Amino acid sequence: MSTTTLLATPSAATSGRMTPISTTTLSAAAPTILAAAAVVTTAAAAIAKTATEHIAAGQYGHAEVLLLDSYACSLARRSDVDIIRALVRLGDLYRAQFRWANAAGKYHEAYALWEQVSYSIHDASVHPITFLPSLVECCEKLGGETGKMAAVIRAKALAMQEHTTRGLDDIVEEDEGEEE
């Protein structure tokens, strides 16, 4: 028994018709689709490596363009792991330039996304423990209210490292006590 799937084509948008396509055709196309996805992922890794080389050479402008392109590719692919990596790399770039607010913003975005999807991410390279120390540094450099957040972030990082919530309640209570 043959299964048929309907595929929307550009002409379908104007005619309102769907073009039938067999599962055999879809199965045959799968390796090509997977190969294309691998090329995009490899390209993103190559872009990031090149950007890292530009950062090491102090060519921040070139690195930023590359990292923003990598971030855009990650967003287009909707790959949470790659989006987090791209945000952390942008944070690292801005931190290297002493652009503390920009860096903190990117690290915060990466952490917020990780919190939303952590249940589905099993890649240790994007775990917040890898970038929260950088976020703490940025918050301390910014000072003021942002600097006060550094203690909370530091406690979160330690709690993650120790797989516990020890110490988080004490810091939150101290912060609430200061506001009164």
Helix (H, G, I), strand (E, B) or coil at 20: strand
Question: Which residue carries 């005619």 as its tokens?
Answer: 15
Res 90 pLDDT > 90: yes
Helix (H, G, I), strand (E, B) or coil at 7: strand
Based on C-alpha coordinates, what's the Rg of the chain? 22
Q: What pLDDT is recorded for position 128?
A: 81
**Can you spell out the DSSP letters for 26-40?**
HHHHHHHHHHHHHHH
Of 35 and 52, more confident: 52
Beta strand 4-7 with 19-22 is antiparallel
CA atoms within 13 A on the CB side of 119: 1
Q: What is the DSSP letter of 42?
A: H
Q: What pLDDT is recorded for position 41?
A: 57
Q: What pLDDT is recorded for position 171?
A: 44
CA atoms within 13 A on the CB side of 33: 6
Tell whether domain 35-179 is in CATH 2.60.40.1120. no
